[in-house]
Structure 1
Amino acid sequence: MQNDEKQIRMLVATWMAATQAGDVDTLLSLMAEDAVFLAPGRPPMRKSEFEAAAKAGRAPPPFDGTSDIEEIKVLGDWAFMRTRLTVVATPADGSPPTELAGHTLTILRKDGGKWLLARDANLLSPVQRQRT
């Protein structure tokens, strides 16, 4: 496996661990300054908006999840990655957990020898469980 691909896989593992721990500073360190997040039904969110929401306590609730990387392509100082993501968010107020699953398409940029998230299109949707 190429060194770049290893570094990108480590970025994903660090991202997941930091998100689960609520470590906003680590998450911010993994983003390019011009990072943009795209999600269905929502306007694009920039890094500064992500930071403001997280520091104002409007960050997503604690979650458990998995990110299965299905494809990584490195093209010089740019790369893209396609993943299958599953997230179970548990609100602090005792409300039932919410499970989301779907794909993401992420564009990464190498800056100063470090891979950073530059764009992320998140296509997660609620998981509908069959009642028995």
Structure 2
Amino acid sequence: MGSDERAIREVHEAWIDAVNAGGLDRLLALMADDAAFLIPGEECIGRDGLSAKFSAAHRQLRIRCLSELMEVVVVGEVAYTRSRDSLAVSPRAGGDEDRLAGDRMTIYRKQPDGRWLLARDANVLSPVEG
């Protein structure tokens, strides 16, 4: 495994850790200024849209994400990952837990300082029955 692939794997892990901890500032530090997120059934959102959505979700919900990297491909200054994700989401006020699962594809860009930042993210998570 090369140093770029290792760095991307570390960013992926840091992203999931930040999601689980409700660490919006940590997420923002891992994404490019022009980051875009594709979410099933919604319009594409950028950093500001993700910030608002993430903050609102974490105020109302307990979120636990598990993510297994299935593929990491680096091509010069751009890379993509494919992961299998599962989310467990439960209301902070109490109530039933919902589960979502599916695949996610993320595109990263290498910055002039050598860091890899999330540039695009698309998921096809859907409710898990039963």
On whether the aligned pair clears a TM of 0.5, the verdict is yes
1: distance between equivalents of 2:125 and 2:49? Answer: 20
Query: Quick check: 2:19–2:65 contact (8 Å CA) kept in 1?
Result: no
2: distance between equivalents of 1:87 and 1:53? Answer: 16
Q: Give the letter aligned to residue 58 of structure 1.
A: A
**How far apart are 1:65 and its partner, in Å?**
2.3
Q: How many residues align?
A: 127
Aligned to 1:125: 126
1: distance between equivalents of 2:57 and 2:33? Answer: 19
Unaligned runs of 5+ in 1: none
**How far apart are 1:94 and its partner, in Å?**
0.6
* Structure 1 runs (4+) greater than 4 angstroms displaced: none
TM-score, length of structure 2 as denominator length: 0.92
Richer in helix (by share): 2
Aligned to 1:30: 30
Q: Give the letter aligned to residue 116 of structure 1.
A: L
Unaligned runs of 5+ in 2: none
Q: Give the letter aligned to residue 121 of structure 1.
A: A
3-state DSSP class of the match of 2:121? strand
Q: How does 1:62-77 map to 2 (within 5 A)?
A: 62-77=62-77
2: distance between equivalents of 1:66 and 1:6? Answer: 19
Question: Identity of paired residues, percent?
Answer: 41
RMSD of the alignment, in Å? Answer: 1.2
Aligned to 2:7: 7
TM-score, length of structure 1 as denominator length: 0.91
1: distance between equivalents of 2:53 and 2:78? Answer: 28
Query: Quick check: 2:7–2:116 contact (8 Å CA) kept in 1?
Result: yes
